[in-house]
């Protein structure tokens, strides 16, 4: 994904969050690593559903991979790997589930709770910081690097 500058977007409800994900997917490229930062309930899954739809994946098939840690979606032209690192305790555990194989694949990685993966996240990764600005209002700041 080519980013010239930081992007700042505000959505007013989950459907707009979904549409933002769908729009951003149109700019994604093989090998992109997109880290999603935000509290529980921030809108990460709504964003991922939209992004997945933009990649040719049925959004109804997308849910948070909290218990399996990684969901693979290969319906689109580019494989999509959706991580939920919330339950990962340390970098060694991330390595044991094959994280590096995904990060250096030609697919696109969407990673929720990327801080749990620490130094495994490449410096050139795209980071999306999601903040609750109201009951349904969300602010997204998209930037490359930490």
Residue 41: per-residue pLDDT: 84
- Residue 143 lies inside a defined structural domain of this protein: no
d(C-alpha 77, C-alpha 30), whole Å: 10
Give residue 35's domain range: 7-138
CA–CA gap between residue 133 and residue 16 (Å, rounded)? 14
Q: Give dist(CA 133, CA 135) in Å, integer.
A: 7
Does some domain include residue 50?
Answer: yes
Asked if 55 contacts 80 with a C-beta cutoff of 8 angstroms, the reply is yes
Using 50, 70 and 90 to split pLDDT, how confident is the model at 16?
A: very high
Q: Does 146 fall in a domain?
A: no
Total domain count, the chain: 1
- Is residue 4's pLDDT more than 60? no
Cα torsion angle, 146, 31, 25, 5, sign: positive
Give the pTM. 0.90
Question: Does 145 fall in a domain?
Answer: no
pLDDT at 89 (0 to 100): 84
CATH of the domain at 87: 3.40.50.300
Percent of the chain exceeding pLDDT 90 equals 57
Is 105 inside a domain boundary? yes
Instruction: For 54-102, write each residue's pLDDT tens digit.
Output: 999 998 888 776 667 888 999 888 999 999 888 888 888 888 888 888 9
Contact 50, 140 (CB under 8 A): no
For the chain, how many helices (H) and strands (E)? 4, 7
pLDDT of residue 48: 94
């Amino acid at each position: 994904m080519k980013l010239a500058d930081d992007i700042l977007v505000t959505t007013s409800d989950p459907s707009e969050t979904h549409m933002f994900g769908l729009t951003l997917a149109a700019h994604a490229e093989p090998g992109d690593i997109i880290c999603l930062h935000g509290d529980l309930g921030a809108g990460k899954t709504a964003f991922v559903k939209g992004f997945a739809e933009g990649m040719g994946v049925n959004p109804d098939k997308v849910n948070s991979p909290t218990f399996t840690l990684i969901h693979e979606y290969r319906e689109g032209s580019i494989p999509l790997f959706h991580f939920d690192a919330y339950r990962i305790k340390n970098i060694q555990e991330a390595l044991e589930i094959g994280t590096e194989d995904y990060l250096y694949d030609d697919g696109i990685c969407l990673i929720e709770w990327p801080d749990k993966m620490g130094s495994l996240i490449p410096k050139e990764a795209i980071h999306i910081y999601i903040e609750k600005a109201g009951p349904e209002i969300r602010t997204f700041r998209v930037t490359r690097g930490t």
